[in-house]
Structure 1
Amino acid sequence: MFYKIETIDNITSTSNRSKVREFKFAAVQDIQCLCAKHFQYLADIRTSSDQCNITCGGGSDDKNGVPMTCGGAKSVEVYFLKGDCVKGSFTADHAASRYAGCIKKPKTLPSSNLHIVTSSHNCMTVCQSEEHPLAFYDRKNCWCGRARNSIDLTRKVDSCNTSDTVTTLRTQVFRTFVEDIRCGNVRLLPPGMYNRTLLATYPGSGNTWTRYLLEKATGYYTGSVYNDRSLSEIGYLGESIEVKEKRTDIIKDHFVNNKPISDFSAAFILVIRNPYKCIISFFNWALKSGSHVKSAPDEVIQQKINQTMKEEVLSWAKLHEKILSQKRPVLVMYYEDIVADPISSVRKMVEFLPNPALHPSDLEERLACLSQEITGLARRPPRKHSYFFPPKVRLDVNKAIEKVREMLRKRGIEKDLPPYERGPEMEW
């Protein structure tokens, strides 16, 4: 089903390469490349087809020599464009931008994928050509592969740039541009009645990022009560599906303006973040027209702190009271814990979900895959700032924090609320 689309016949020309960068989605049908800014201009996400069986022209085969497909007679294969491709070999700048961290070297290495190279970017070039999502380099050897139980990229160690003795036990990891298909296949639920979960947060508490983690882990799109087009444009395709269609689970809601709780939810995941941090994040979102990646000027944020911080922190406390007073199951997650250990956190959330369809048999494989791309699709770039919270504002915020702490204890939540009273400087 096609809507407004753009056909690009000659992508090698300078003008067309520039034009393609404007688009986020691409579809292939036979020898045609179709580009669009929105998924719905290319296809209807509610329908899926197993008829993508036209062999690509030009003798395009995968690394195993199997001919690749380019859509079907009445079907297209749709791709989300995450960034520009690299033509030719990687450079040192490419390696620096794709650096995933330093990890302890696994006891066993895949010798079949071992190479002798002289630099990290040469290692990336080799692994990219062999279609591996990760390149491992220890100043001497290069090997290619993907994350698995013994290679969790969220378990990083100190820098590899130390003594040679230490680096023999550690390896640098770089991400190529090859997608790991283990967690790349995300789809809508088939229509049906499900015990659905509400993902409740105060705005700015990591709801969008948590949705990304859960989509990759479960293999199904999350939903939302907001239909935020800016999110569907960057890959959160469940955002464009009405909740009443019953094609999504794990539904985002911030419960602003005393909004009542929907009766379709069987359980809640409540993500709590330091109010000194999440309210600032919310101010950035509100002042930048709902952008999930832009930041407002510091002086404007400071003005909001002085004028409306008390009102916002009361809303922060009221949301948590609303959820914690429910008779239905509630899983409380602290945002700071998710940041510290995202894989263990998302595993805990998946195990809590009441819908059995969201418990994949290959969960551990999907989590290993997720550890390679943990950042997500929408992230506001970190920046240094030093906001001043007047004593009266701090008093109001800390009263709200203590109130929520008492609610959690009354609910029987085992893990106490972190010491948010320390303010935005709190280390966690």
Structure 2
Amino acid sequence: MDTTEPGIIESIQGLLRNNHKFAAVKGTSCLCSKQFHHVANIRSSSKQCNIICGGSAANDKDRKTCGGEKSVEVYFIKGKCVQAPFSRLYASSRHMGCFETPGDGIPGKYVTVQSPEDCLTVCDTLGSPLATYDQKKQCWCGKAGKNFDLTQNVVSCNASGAVDVFRTSAEDARCGNISFLSPGKYERTELASYPGSGNTWTRYLLEKATGYYTGSVYNDVALSGIGYLGESFKVEETRTDMIKDHYLNDNKVPEFPSAFIVIIRNPYKAIISLINLLNAKTDIHVNFAADKVLKEKIVQLWPKQIEHWIKFHRKVLFQNKPMLILYYEDMVTDPISSVRKMVEFLPNPALHPSDLEERLACLSQETRGLARRPPRKYSSDFFPSEIRKSVDKAVEEVKEMLRKKGITKKMPPYEKGPDLD
């Protein structure tokens, strides 16, 4: 990529200390920043820094490529530095659950260790995305595959054939390579949802599965800063597909989408998520508003927001274009099947990778995403009876819309309350 003004040049320790997200290598210099545009020009991005070296052979076939003085490799920092040997607490934080070992074993390297912490340490050093450990103190370092994709866990790791699975800090390159589309004419898909319904998380899943960045009508700088680089392009530039839109205004639905993916979520959870987004003091995409603030805002904002929830579905569901409707709760239960279904639905052939199953196996190792708020239960006193009545009415109205649309997949029983999912 072509560099812009480099901004701050400092050590990796400084990068972590200042919570920077982007690190770039230019020659022997390390460029660090919280924003991508401080270290590189995103519009000149390419998969490889392959500028022709000066003094190369005249014959194109024999020319050598190298970085060149304008070239910079940019890395996105996903985690935090571990400043001590892997502890039991750290290993616990990386634990993904218990899974049944496939009959032909896990593809990867076998080692004998004394503890799960040792297993995680060894596998991280080897650069393996997964560390698995069983009751016989056997450790396998490898990665998910078609017959071990981390979608079906078991209740206990003490069961015969079960293993503890840990996610190391090593990246699995199979779903790490994400690009922008070349400018052109595409059949593009609108990713539509009421705010707080998992749109941003869905974008993460789609980017990892297709290998291409998603877009948005909002150009959200905060999301760009945590890795959603498609926010840097306007929709009209056609560098992205799978375009996020919440339709909160009275504007008409734009003409460009050829198809729609619609995410529907429990209105209790969706509206609470929106209130948290608007009222959390720090790190707005993952934090919670204080309970006192949340209770006040629920009473204050609920009548308007539940009406917006209805209006969103009324506006989107009757578009006369191909449409895939998914319930957020089903996506949480089985994200891999859900994202496979979405990719197969997309009308743009460029978004159908030949290695989809490998990418999905890779994705199964880390489905959480970049900006997904942790689950939380809410007591019934957050929701007065008039709010519950308004939800019951709204849910029935949207159910009727789905029936008229011919959707046979039954809506989850959202009227049961906020802790359904």
TM-score (norm 1): 0.90
Q: Does 1:323 align with 2:316?
A: yes
Tell me which residue corresponds to 2:191.
199
Alpha-carbon separation, structure 2, partners of 1:119 and 1:5: 44
Tell me which residue corresponds to 1:304.
297
Deviation of 1:52 (Å): 4.9
Kept after mapping to 1: 8 A contact 2:87/2:117 = yes
Q: Equivalent residue of 1:182, what SS? A: helix
Kept after mapping to 1: 8 A contact 2:11/2:30 = no
Deviation of 1:260 (Å): 1.5
Q: Does 1:73 align with 2:65?
A: no
Q: Equivalent residue of 2:44, what SS? A: coil
Alpha-carbon separation, structure 2, partners of 1:366 and 1:425: 32
Alpha-carbon separation, structure 1, partners of 2:312 and 2:300: 21
Alpha-carbon separation, structure 1, partners of 2:111 and 2:83: 22
Matching residue within 162, 168, 177 for 1:176: 168
Tell me which residue corresponds to 2:61.
none
Change (3 A) 1:332 1:33: same
Alpha-carbon separation, structure 2, partners of 1:406 and 1:248: 34
Alpha-carbon separation, structure 2, partners of 1:53 and 1:130: 31
Alpha-carbon separation, structure 2, partners of 1:17 and 1:44: 20
- The more displaced of 147-156 and 336-345 is 147-156
AA of the residue aligned to 1:424: P
Kept after mapping to 1: 8 A contact 2:49/2:73 = no
Change (3 A) 1:334 1:9: closer
Tell me which residue corresponds to 1:423.
417
Q: Equivalent residue of 1:305, what SS? A: helix
- The more displaced of 269-278 and 120-129 is 120-129
- The more displaced of 83-92 and 210-219 is 83-92
Deviation of 1:7 (Å): 5.1
Alpha-carbon separation, structure 1, partners of 2:11 and 2:262: 49
Count of equivalent residues: 405
AA of the residue aligned to 2:400: E
Alpha-carbon separation, structure 2, partners of 1:331 and 1:112: 37
Deviation of 1:70 (Å): 9.3
Tell me which residue corresponds to 1:34.
31
Alpha-carbon separation, structure 1, partners of 2:140 and 2:313: 48
Kept after mapping to 1: 8 A contact 2:180/2:240 = yes
Tell me which residue corresponds to 1:93.
89
Q: How does 1:2-401 map to 2 (within 5 A)?
A: 2-6=3-7, 8=9, 10-11=11-12, 16=14, 19=17, 21-49=18-46, 50-52=48-50, 71-86=67-82, 89-110=85-106, 113-139=109-135, 140-160=137-157, 162=158, 166=159, 168-288=160-280, 291-388=284-381, 389-401=383-395
Deviation of 1:51 (Å): 3.4
Change (3 A) 1:33 1:358: same
Q: Equivalent residue of 2:43, what SS? A: coil
Where structure 2 has 5 or more consecutive residues not aligned to the other structure, the ranges are 53-64
Deviation of 1:75 (Å): 0.9
Deviation of 1:259 (Å): 2.6
Kept after mapping to 2: 8 A contact 1:28/1:71 = no
Q: Does 1:406 align with 2:400?
A: yes
Alpha-carbon separation, structure 2, partners of 1:10 and 1:352: 45
Q: Cα RMSD between the aligned structures?
A: 2.2
Kept after mapping to 2: 8 A contact 1:113/1:143 = yes
AA of the residue aligned to 1:318: K
Kept after mapping to 1: 8 A contact 2:223/2:231 = yes
Alpha-carbon separation, structure 2, partners of 1:338 and 1:278: 14
Change (3 A) 1:53 1:150: farther
TM-score (norm 2): 0.91
Where structure 1 has 5 or more consecutive residues not aligned to the other structure, the ranges are 55-68
